[in-house]
Amino acid sequence: MTALKAQTAVSPTDEAETLAKAAERHLIQPWPSAGEIGDEARGLIGSGDGIYVTDAEGNRLIDGPAGMWCVNVGHRRRELADALHEQAMALSYNSPWYTMNEPSALLAERIAGHAPGDLNHVFFTTGGSSAVESALRFMQFYNNVRGRPQKKTILSRDGAYHGSTYLSASLNGSSRGRDWMDIADDLVVKLSCPDPFRRPLDMSIEEFSDMLVEEFADAVKRIGAENIGAFVGEPVMASGGVIVPPPNYLPRIAAICRENDILYISDEVVTAFGRMGDVFASKDVFGIEPDIITFAKGVTSGYFPLGGMVVSDRLFAELRQSNHADAMYAHGLTYSSHPIGCAVALKNLDILEGGLLEHAREVGVYFMEQLKTLEELDLVGEVRGTGLMACIECVADRESKNPLTLDTEVGRRIDQHCQELGLLLRPLIHMCVMSPPLIITKEQIDEMVAILREGISRTMEDLR
């Protein structure tokens, strides 16, 4: 193979072109538009190491979004590769229907140890969508068993992202994901996005928070608590643009849920496993004890597709005390409790517990401080975030905060300039989102911010 390559002198660029052609002809990428479906290749990433990835031309780029908020411990970790290999050689798969494996039992115990309150029971899935889907189906099952089959409405929020399966996608708050796709509209009620930056201009943050809580309480009254099964919320809305809610908003929503016997499902697919400096952010960062937490991504740092949900003792006790011992939570996946995924997650947790959580907490503060300096640039309306997740939101005019008169490709333009300078971002229309691997150092943060400053300045030149 190598000899043939040498003979025919295949350059990395030739190889990339061949791969692009194969992809255009045969590979369906996620979220394709009808105009491009079946005719699209995306930028090739050849390898990764630490916080860096290398593209088809051999350029080394800082992996700004850590893949998709997931490569928390960084690329090319020997420990994870070894764990994966060793588990594949010991037991590559077993059916979770009739049997169980060692890594899944150990991992469930470790995760329960980190989860807040009485959240002690872990169900493993293949990723975030299936985790949210599992939690919603569990809520339906729970209410059916408890003899309240009408208690199924789900409260979600504009700007939310919870997945790409039917029920989880029905919770998503951006019109882009709903315009051309069928969703379970009858089951979901959307509330306002808790985005302090986009609050009414004359409103304080406290008044904004009051308004959101009042809206929530009104929705409960209007729909009737007896008809609402769950509220599902990301502690920090990730794909919606790293929306950090007003202080105290989440605990107040949690209290209303508890008073009205509405399950609080905290979607920690992004925020768990170190992104905010703790294994789970719900309690440690936001002071809430949900009934169910969903997780994925960082649980294996993206080295293996795995997700799951942690469910409280209280719900399990209620199910066991019901009169329906024969009722079945008829839900499970061939790859639930996958031994390789769980073995990788155990090693990943070792790394997080072995000092990386502390490091993430420390550099997270520095990361935000340094990024905030970009607010000096005219194009930047706000830099926001917490932990190692941040968003730069661009505006046409700082007074009105109006993003609409902007060139709508502004996020992509910044990303393109930054890529030329050595940084990969996640552009979202007029925003750029970042969530680098947690191993990032202060020096690397400086490098990242310098590139961003130059990339945004070049974009400002383009728009003149």
Element spanning 424, H or E: strand 423-424
Whether 234 contacts 225, CB under 8 Å: no
Q: Pick from 80, 107, 264, 267 the residue near ligand PLP by CB under 6 A.
A: 267
Nearest residue to ligand PLP, scored by beta-carbon proximity = 128
Q: Pick from 162, 199, 413, 426 the residue near ligand PLP by CB under 6 A.
A: 162
The residues, ordered by sequence, that sit 6+ positions from 360 with a Cβ below 8 Å of its Cβ are 274, 275, 276, 277, 387, 388, 438
Q: Is 275 in the site for ligand PLP (CB under 6 A)?
A: no
* In the complex, minimum distance from the CB of residue 424 to ligand PLP, in angstroms, rounded to a whole number: 17
Whether 208 contacts 132, CB under 8 Å: no
Q: Pick from 238, 254, 344, 380 the residue near ligand PLP by CB under 6 A.
A: 238
Element spanning 219, H or E: helix 205-223
Whether 304 contacts 84, CB under 8 Å: yes
Phi and psi of 231, rounded to 5°? -110, 135
Q: Which tokens is 378 given?
A: 């005219």
* Beta pairing, strands 52-55 & 45-49: antiparallel
Residue with tokens 């394709």: 32
Q: Is 161 in the site for ligand PLP (CB under 6 A)?
A: yes
What is the footprint of ligand PLP within residues 75-134 (CB under 6 A)? 127-129, 132
Q: Is 449 in the site for ligand PLP (CB under 6 A)?
A: no
Say how far apart CA 139 and CA 21 lie, in whole Å. Answer: 45
Q: Pick from 63, 195, 234, 278 the residue near ligand PLP by CB under 6 A.
A: 234
Q: Is 169 in the site for ligand PLP (CB under 6 A)?
A: no
Query: Among residues 270 and 344, whose Cβ is nearest to ligand PLP?
Result: 270
Query: Among residues 52 and 161, whose Cβ is nearest to ligand PLP?
Result: 161
* In the complex, minimum distance from the CB of residue 442 to ligand PLP, in angstroms, rounded to a whole number: 27
* In the complex, minimum distance from the CB of residue 30 to ligand PLP, in angstroms, rounded to a whole number: 8
Q: Is 244 in the site for ligand PLP (CB under 6 A)?
A: no
* In the complex, minimum distance from the CB of residue 151 to ligand PLP, in angstroms, rounded to a whole number: 23
Q: Among 18-26, 93-101, 107-115, 156-164, which window interacts with ligand PLP (CB under 6 A)?
A: 156-164
Say how far apart CA 240 and CA 173 lie, in whole Å. Answer: 8
List the beta bridge partners of residue 344: none
Q: Which tokens is 65 given?
A: 């979004």
Q: Pick from 111, 119, 270, 293 the residue near ligand PLP by CB under 6 A.
A: 270
| CB contact burial 332-345 (16+ within 10 A = b; e otherwise) | eeebbbbbbbbbbb
Q: Is 459 in the site for ligand PLP (CB under 6 A)?
A: no
Q: Is 276 in the site for ligand PLP (CB under 6 A)?
A: no
Q: Among 155-163, 207-215, 410-418, 455-463, which window interacts with ligand PLP (CB under 6 A)?
A: 155-163
The residues, ordered by sequence, that sit 6+ positions from 195 with a Cβ below 8 Å of its Cβ are 159, 237, 240, 241, 243
* In the complex, minimum distance from the CB of residue 237 to ligand PLP, in angstroms, rounded to a whole number: 8
Per CB under 6 A, residues contacting ligand PLP are 68, 127-129, 132, 161-164, 234, 238-239, 267, 269-270, 296, 307
